[in-house]
Structure formats: structure tokens, C-alpha cells
Amino acid sequence: MIGGGFGGLQVVRGLRRAAGVEVTLVDRQNFHLFQPLAYQVATGGLSSAEIASPLRRVLRHQANARVVLAEATGFDLGSREVTLDKLPNGAASMTIPYDVLVVAGGSAYSYFGHDDWAEFAPELKSLQGALALRSRILSAFEAAELEADPGRRAAWLTFVVVGAGPTGVEMAGQIAELAHDTLRHDYRAVDTSHARVLLVEAADRVLGTFPPSLSRRAARSLEKIGVTLALDTTVVDLADGTIDVQPRNGERSTIAARTVVWAAGVTASPLAALLADAAGGEVDRVGRILVEPDLTLPGRPEVFALGDMAAVRSAGGEVQRLPGVAPVAMQEGRHVARSIGSGTSKPFRYRDKGNLATIGRSHAVADVKGVQLWGFAAWVTWLAVHLAYLIGFENRLLVLTRWTFSYLTRGRTARVIHH
């Protein structure tokens, strides 16, 4: 099993009672990251340990599971071997054999051919990215406190979030609440309530996968807490301290902003291309490997690929439009575990349970099996669902305690800057 994310962990845990099965889980990190809450680490609402669970602790009671800290860098499907690098003991590399291979490498944000922009606009797909963003955001307020020039101070207090999907909407809302509420009385020389939060989206509405009525409600909630929406607008350039944007029917403009957050577009893990090369398969335009309806590689019934790095063909040969969210990967992981445990091969069918996005304190939108919720009811639903999916009772209790404290005091205690 390559990858200890949502899908990979479901495969491993789904095989805990399978007779005669031994599982080796390989991951380049020693923890499972609850990525949907990474933005709360980036804005000081939660600490990193509360959303990152050590894999060995998660699997400590599963006798048939072994964890290997390494990075998969090659596949020999003929010999049924995986090459591992970056080993913690300093060895150059090693190979491990397999009878069944499952690869769930996930994805990263796409900078649409401008990878150099990553230096100026960190992403939120990793714990490292969340911690880097937290330092940038908090350091911006510290810089504004010392800046005497009004123009330079305004640049430090300007935050731009690119991409108005759930992550972008949640991130913009959290930055706005941080600036306009939490930090308002913490500084002496600067008024953080003057901070500007700009949400840039190339489409004509936020939360494009939600029903239009919920998108409109989300937009109104964002504006209410101080987020400025720039819809039908694309990013055309990024540099240190500036971002160039262009509306669909307008002129290009330059915005002075010291903090930019990237939450637009995804590209599959490089493992998808490595696996496709080894299997003689193909990848789509965002780098996902094409798999059969049962999640196996064409002609390779012993090799599965799932999650954000895989595009699933339907029985008719067309690629299914599955959202790149945790529930898809989890359902695929459980499907693969059943297939391995039973030795059967059945097409995967995704059961869409709906969409959720939180905007701020007591504000959220939810589309749950056709039932639309907004405001406080949607916010409570969002809290319950995320607590249920969080790994480990201890983390659930800690997060619930932290959220309760934050709600009652409007505080954020995880505001440590790492240099």
C-alpha cells in the first residue's frame, strides 16, 4: 500500500481481519494528515498535532500491518517490486516485493504551468504548507505593526486567496475573522480590522460544485465578514509582494499584497505518471492515471490505483466525473479492501453524500443528499461531519475542546510563528 492518506488508510484498515493477508504501508510521512482542516492550522485555529495522527499509532492494534517510512520512486510490474528511496536509516534505496499493489499518492495544487509562483503563494495540501502559511499570515500582521509607510502597511494587510472552491472559501473566511475579530485588540500601532481579504476566482461564482442558491448565500456570508470577491478574474502573474489579475472583460491590474494563498486547480501525484509508464498506460490532462471500473490498471488485475491520482472509467469506457474530495478516496479504499479480501472484481460506484463548506463563525453551507442547509444549521452539520471523520478519539476530543473554546472566546491559541 503506497500512501497513508484517506484512501490508503481505508485499504489497510479494511484488511485488518482478512485471513492470510499481510499489509505493508509505505509513506514518506509518518502521519496521516486530515487535510480538510489544514486551513485551520494555517490560521491559528488548530495545532498541527490535532490534525496529524502518527500512522504507527493508528495501526498499533493491527497485527497484519507494517509501516515503512520511505518514498516510492519506481515500479517494476513484471517482477512485482516497488523501489523505495529516502530511507530513514541512510540507505540509498531498497526494493520490496508484492502480490497486490495499491497506489494512492493523492494530488497537489496546480499552478497552471507557472511552478515558480509556488515560492510566492504556498498551498494547503500539506502540513508543511499550512505551517508555512501560518507563519506568513501572522508575520504580515507583525510587519504591519512596525511599518510607518501607509502604502507598505496596506500591502502587509492585504491577503489574496486564489480559488473559490471549499478550501479557498474557508481560508478567506478564516483570514477575515482572524484580522477583523481575533487580532483586533492585540496590536497597538496597527488596526487589523483594516485588513483586506480578496478572493479571486476565474468562474462566475464561488463554490462552483454547489447548487447556485448555496453559492449565492456563501458569497453574501463572505462579504458580510469582510471578504472582497473578485469573480470572473484570473491570475496572470505573481511576484514577491504583488499579484497581477485580469477580469474577463476588464483590464489587467496589479495588487500590492504580501500574502497570497493558492487554492486553485489540482494536479495528480507524480506517482501516477510513474505507474502509467510502468504499465504502458496513460494519464489525463491533470496527470491522473486511467483505471478500470474496478480501480485496477488495464491488464494488471493485481495493481490498484485510487484517490486523486486516478481517473475511473465507467463500464461504457467514459471517464467518471468524481470530485477530488476525501469521501471519494475513502469509498474507493473500502472498495479495494473488499476486492482484495474477497478476491472479487466489481465496478466501483460512488455514493455522493453531499458537499459542505464553512465560511466563518456560525456560517456554512451544506448540500446533503439534496437537502440544502445554510447558516447555523449547516455550520453545526459541518462540525459534526468533520469530527466524525477525524482519526482517533483523542484528536476528536482535542479539536472539539479547541472549537468550543474558540467559539466562546473568539480566540485562536495556535498562533506560533516558525521561522
Q: How far apart are CA 364 and CA 377, in angstroms?
A: 8
Q: How far apart are CA 9 and CA 218, in angstroms?
A: 32
CB 150 within 8 A of CB 303: no
One-letter amino acid for residue 203 of the chain: A
Contacts 24+ apart (CB under 8 A), 289-295: 290/319, 293/347, 293/348, 294/339, 294/345, 294/346, 294/347, 294/348, 295/332, 295/335, 295/336, 295/339, 295/348
Alpha helices in 182-269 (DSSP H): 212-224
Backbone angles phi, psi at 413, to 5 degrees: -90, -15
The strand pair at 233-239 and 242-247 is best described as antiparallel
Hey, which bits of 282-331 come out as E strands?
A: 289-291, 296-297, 300-305, 310-312
Alpha helices in 205-303 (DSSP H): 212-224, 270-279
* Sign of the alpha-carbon torsion through 125, 72, 64, 307: positive
Burial environment of residue 388 by CB neighbours within 10 A (0 to 12, 13 to 18, 19 or more) = exposed
Q: How far apart are CA 43 and CA 76, in angstroms?
A: 42
**Which is catalytic among the residues 50, 170, 201, 332?**
170
Write the DSSP assignment of 109-168 as a string of letters: E--TT-GGGGGTS-BSSSHHHHHHHHHHHHHHHHHHHH--SHHHHHHHTEEEEE--SHHH
170 is catalytic: yes
Residue 372, C-alpha cell as written in the block? 440544502
CB 327 within 8 A of CB 314: no
Q: How far apart are CA 118 and CA 413, in angstroms?
A: 28
CB 171 within 8 A of CB 39: yes
Backbone angles phi, psi at 173, to 5 degrees: -65, -40
- What residues are labeled active site? 170
